[in-house]
Amino acid sequence: MRKRMEELLDTFDCSSTASIFSTRNQKNTTDNYFFESAEKVSFFFEEKAFGDDGNLKQPKHLSINKVGHGEICL
């Protein structure tokens, strides 16, 4: 399962989606990407994953908070 998750994350283009997952403030950060994640694999970033310039502050695999909600095919 770890290998498959690495493959999924490696192919995930984080420049196309920058959806944030927050346990404290999800109501304000929920977007269509969040709602559409029910039927596919979706990645959600840490609240402070991006700098003021819009780029990730650290590597992608260290910036992901959650992977949801769809099935992950092994």
Q: 15-71 pLDDT, tens per residue? A: 766 666 665 665 544 556 666 666 777 888 888 888 999 889 999 889 888 887 665
pLDDT of residue 16: 66
Q: How far is Cα of residue 49 from the mean position of the Cα atoms in its chain?
A: 10
Report the domain count for the chain: 1
Q: Which residue has the tokens 């991006």?
A: 50
19 HSE (CA, 13 A, CB side): 21
Supply 17's token pair: 């989606």
Could you tell me if 57 and 49 are in contact, meaning their C-beta atoms sit under 8 angstroms apart? Answer: yes
pLDDT of residue 36: 64
Residue 74 lies in a domain: no
pLDDT of residue 57: 93
Residue 26 lies in a domain: yes
Full residue range of the structural domain in which residue 47 is found: 2-69
Would you say the C-alpha torsion 20, 23, 28, 33 has a positive or negative sign?
Answer: positive
Residue 44 lies in a domain: yes
Residue 25 lies in a domain: yes
